Chain A
Amino acid sequence: MTDTTPHEPDHVYDVVVIGAGIVGSAIARDLSGHQLSVALVEARDDVGDGTSKANTAILHTGFDAKPGTLESRLVKRGYHLLSEYARSTGIPVEQTGAILVAWNAEELAALPGLKEKAEQNGYDRCRIVGADEVYELIPSLGEGALGGLTVPDESIICTWTTNLALATDARQRGAEVLLNHAVTAVSVNTRSTTLTTTGGSVQARWVVNAAGLGADRIDRLFGHERFTVTPRRGELFVFDKLARPLVDKIVLPVPTSRGKGVLISPTIYGNVMLGPTSEDLTDRTATGTSEDGFAFLLDKGERLMPRLLAEEVTASYAGLRAAINHGDYLIEPTPSQRYLLVGGIRSTGLTSGMAIAEHVHEVLEKAGLALTARTDLPGPPQMANIGEATVRPYQDADRIAADPEYGKVVCFCERVTAGEIRDAFQSPLPARNLEGLRRRTRAMNGRCQGFFCGAAVNRLLNENGCGGTAAAPARPEVNS
């Protein structure tokens, strides 16, 4: 079911999901597995262009969640659902394991409590290890570690492919993906709700608000005053691939009240990441990086792993967590309005997204939405592998023999081939701009940042009718 026509203004979808991040895409995918017409409405010109594109990309076991919360349950469940889904779609995942490192007596003393907490969360594979073992596991760690706690199942995953897979799956199951549709007004009528968007109005019987950083604003459009989102910025450095031999596990700090703190982690693309910072802001578009953020990270990095700082930085970026003044996820239906809020999915939404979707469907059913599972579902989409741990197209002799485009390396640093770039333009949710292409292929994400390939990549973008700019088109755009 890849063929949909642009929506009619009068068409009433059974469910409209606002926000095509991980959470909204997972929900749209799940709902379109039922006998329902579903639309996924997104303000930006691509799926996964909000918080879901800029995080630390760790698939959490949920060992350190607050026991008994909805978040704790959904992170744990999400870990299994997404691991399984990754296997069937080809989303890159590596089970690297993590180690929490204690640097002072207080942190050392906190380890047994953390192990216990993990057990309360149903995770019993943590182990407390001494300093010797910490250095055995991570020889390049800075001096002064006193001990650690291992979490063998923490994993790294590709957040871009995850988001894209879920949205593509929703699309292939028949959901409409309406990009460049920012919801600006809501009018709840007796039988349907009209969403006014920058791409025209959209009618729905039920509305699910999964708008991430914008969820409180949508909630207000529905007349509620429940919560305020605080954008909590996290800045990160991505170090060159040549640094990867320094660290093959996620190195976590012992958590404090300020959040999870600064970690060092291998990335699925073969780099090493340092970050994130944690800073509450007011501007929800402030995804720029800052001098203070960089200084803070370099200071932390200097202590955590001085050798890492001698390596080149390949990229830096910032993401905004949707923090709220509430200790748990805020998933609350208002049946009278046929409306469901999915808010406050702070720092674990990549992992929990699919479990949130499962939970949402139960909540909706209880709230009165009839859900009948479909029996004619297409199989899961097969995603392009942009992970470094398994065979990439440029390494695949048979694949190149069958299609020489996979033998033409366009982006040298990331070894992205002409075949992969072509595929990204021809997929069900095609790349429309440079950022979208980067997330689908890794092109231009490497150490030269375009010195060699930038011009060629831009040329391919222009040839494919997408233009090199990220400007939103004036006309309403419907995915087709």
Chain B
Amino acid sequence: MTTTTLTPDVLIIGGGPAGLTAAAALAPRIRGEVLVLDREKDAGGIPRHSDHTGYGLRDLRRVMTGPKYARHLVEQATSAGATIRTETMVTHWAGDRAVEVTGPQGRLRVEAKAVVLATGARERPRAARRIPGDRPQGVYTTGQLQNAVHLHHSEVGSRAVIVGGELVSWSAAVTLREAGCATELMVSQYPRTESYAAFNIAGRALLRVPVANRSRVTRIIGKGRVEAVEIENLDTRARRTVACDTVVFTGDWIPDHELVRSGGLDLDPGTLGPLTDTALRTSRPGVFAAGNLLHPVDTADVAALDGLHVADQVEAWLTGAGEPAPGLRILAEAPLRWVAPGLLRPGDPAPPRGRLLLWTDRSIRFPHVIVRQNGRVLSERTLPWPAAPGRVFRVPWSVMKGLSAQGGPVTIGLR
């Protein structure tokens, strides 16, 4: 068999903002090779086909379009000395820090001293949301829509219904408008459409998208091509059909965790990504994780800053850092759906950007955060920013002060 083995010091799986930023930070600091593998034709991750502005604020301190941001990150990693191989997909584990890979250059085996998983997240498509009806053409996720419009310049229909009211839903509306497709309706289960208030108001005004709140899609109708969707008002249970030829399922994220699960790494049941500590270590020594794989889904700059954070931790591992101390679980309480990272070890650094990332199922204008351990309130804090469904809610790490390393799990709740 013609299998070649590569032996970089660091293997980074996924060349999106998280992986590329980690590569750029690590390459100048270690002696061996930093190898980034990405299955797409070009590295850059999701921003490659997210052709609108709003990228780079927190990591690069300027704002640019997704494709430009993607190219910038690729250049940064390459000029720092990292190797990027594209059209190269990691398909299996071949050892604790070894994987099997398929690319046009053949079947490869990569054995590294450290591995960073940065495989990102995707939107749940219609089937995963268990929506019945016909199976016509014209049903998309935002990812597929933007890929089609921005990278492949394909046509979409003329009247769309957008399912979801997250940030990414507005991103879908922008793309549809550029593709000459009107948005007939945005359907959101929440009482108010989430996403950043500014964007929301601007979005509504600019795009003039009508929104059906407290609603869900109950059926897709159409033979050949979508003809309509049936929607239900969650409060009155009243149903109606909305004529359209395109349906875009937006948001409702799930990490691309195939390697995490097939490798038997501990999973965080909340995020469905790998369980990591604040140093972004997974349960397997020498295997780290960063980006939207851990918090589905945050903005690209936050993913990139994970990459920067993980670089220090990988370097420490390569220089022989000892066994980490046992950790405490950090758990989210309803209405919070998940918290990342999910483990805290004494002596470890604060999480990336000194923030815990959380997801709320209910909108709270002035959230009062309560941290408990062993039933005892550890700290409470009212935050000046809202907790809203459809986007990440950030909590300063300082709320964790004063916990006992010997105590039980720590829970974070909201009031």
Interface residues of A (CB under 8 A from B): 237-238, 242, 285, 287-291, 293-294, 312-317, 394-398, 400-401, 404-405, 407-409, 412, 415, 417, 434, 447-452, 454-456, 458-459, 462, 468-471
Contact = CB atoms under 8 A, between A and B. Distances in A.
Interface stretch (B120-128, B194-202, B318-326, B368-376): B120-128
A317 B135 CA distance: 8
A395 B261 contact: no
Given A401-B2, A412-B39, A450-B125, A288 B107 contact: no
Contacts of B124: 312
B143 interface: yes
B39 A291 contact: no
B347 interface: no
Interface of B: 1-3, 39-40, 87, 89, 91, 102-107, 122-128, 130, 132-135, 137, 140-141, 143-144, 147-148, 151-152, 154, 218-219, 223-225, 254, 258, 261-262
A313 B252 CA distance: 14
B154 A409 contact: no
Contacts of A417: 102
A293 B224 CA distance: 22
Contacts of A397: 1-3, 106-107
A395 B254 CA distance: 26
10 contacts: A285-B223, A316-B132, A397-B3, A398-B1, A407-B105, A451-B123, A455-B148, A456-B152, A458-B154, A459-B152
B104 A400 contact: yes
Given A401-B106, A448-B143, A469-B137, 9 more contacts: A288-B135, A293-B132, A294-B130, A315-B127, A316-B132, A394-B89, A405-B104, A449-B125, A454-B148
A455 B154 contact: yes
Contacts of B106: 397, 400-401, 404, 407
Nearest to B133: A288
B135 A451 contact: no
Contacts of B1: 397-398
Contacts of B258: 242
Given A397-B3, A449-B126, A404 B135 contact: no
B48 to A, nearest CB: 11
A293 B132 CA distance: 9
A69 B168 CA distance: 58
B104 to A, nearest CB: 4
8 nearest interchain CB pairs?
Answer: A449-B125, A397-B107, A455-B147, A455-B148, A451-B143, A454-B144, A404-B104, A289-B132
A388 B67 CA distance: 36
A242 B262 CA distance: 8
Contact of B254 (A238, A290, A312, A315): A312
A405 B87 CA distance: 11
A285 B125 CA distance: 24
Given A400-B102, A470-B224, A291 B107 contact: no
Name the prevailing secondary structure of the A interface residues.
mixed
A391 to B, nearest CB: 11
Query: Which among A290, A459, A471 has the greatest number of chain B C-beta atoms within 10 A?
Result: A459
A448 B125 contact: yes
A25 B124 CA distance: 37
Given A451-B122, A456-B152, A469-B225, A314 B127 contact: yes
B144 A451 contact: yes
Contact of A289 (B103, B133, B137, B140): B133
Contacts of B103: 407-408
Name the prevailing secondary structure of the B interface residues.
mixed
B140 A454 contact: yes
Contacts of A242: 258, 261-262
B132 A294 contact: yes
A238 B89 CA distance: 24
A235 to B, nearest CB: 8
Contacts of A289: 132-133, 135
A456 B87 CA distance: 13
Given A316-B132, A398-B1, A469-B224, A451 B105 contact: no
A470 B87 CA distance: 30
Contacts of A455: 144, 147-148, 151-152, 154
Contact of A395 (B91, B122, B143): B91
Contacts of B91: 394-395, 415
A289 B130 CA distance: 10
Contacts of B137: 434, 468-470
Nearest to B3: A397
Nearest to A458: B154
B370 to A, nearest CB: 29
A395 B94 CA distance: 13
Nearest to B89: A409
Nearest to B141: A451
A459 B151 CA distance: 10
Given A404-B105, A409-B39, A447 B152 contact: no
Contact of A458 (B135, B141, B148): B148
B102 A395 contact: yes
Contacts of A312: 124, 128, 254
A434 B139 CA distance: 13
Query: Which among A395, A448, A462 has the greatest number of chain B C-beta atoms within 10 A?
Result: A448
Contacts of B3: 397
Contacts of A314: 127-128
A449 B107 contact: no
B135 A409 contact: no
Query: Which among A398, A451, A468 has the greatest number of chain B C-beta atoms within 10 A?
Result: A451
Contacts of B262: 242
Contacts of B107: 395-397, 400, 407
Contacts of A459: 152, 154
Nearest to A235: B132
A136 B140 CA distance: 42
A290 B254 CA distance: 25
Contacts of B126: 449
Contacts of A294: 130, 132
Query: Which among B40, B102, B151, B254 has the greatest number of chain A C-beta atoms within 10 A?
Result: B102
Nearest to A288: B134
Nearest to B129: A313
A295 to B, nearest CB: 10
Contacts of A237: 130
Contacts of B218: 291
Nearest to B221: A288
Nearest to A397: B107
A288 B222 CA distance: 9
A238 to B, nearest CB: 8
A331 to B, nearest CB: 32
Contacts of B125: 448-451
Nearest to A468: B137
B272 to A, nearest CB: 9
B152 A316 contact: no
Contacts of B140: 450, 454
A242 to B, nearest CB: 5
Nearest to A449: B125
B143 A452 contact: yes
A451 B125 CA distance: 8
B2 to A, nearest CB: 5
Nearest to A316: B127
Nearest to B261: A242
A412 B148 CA distance: 16
B100 to A, nearest CB: 8
Contacts of A469: 137, 224-225
Contacts of B128: 312-314, 447, 449
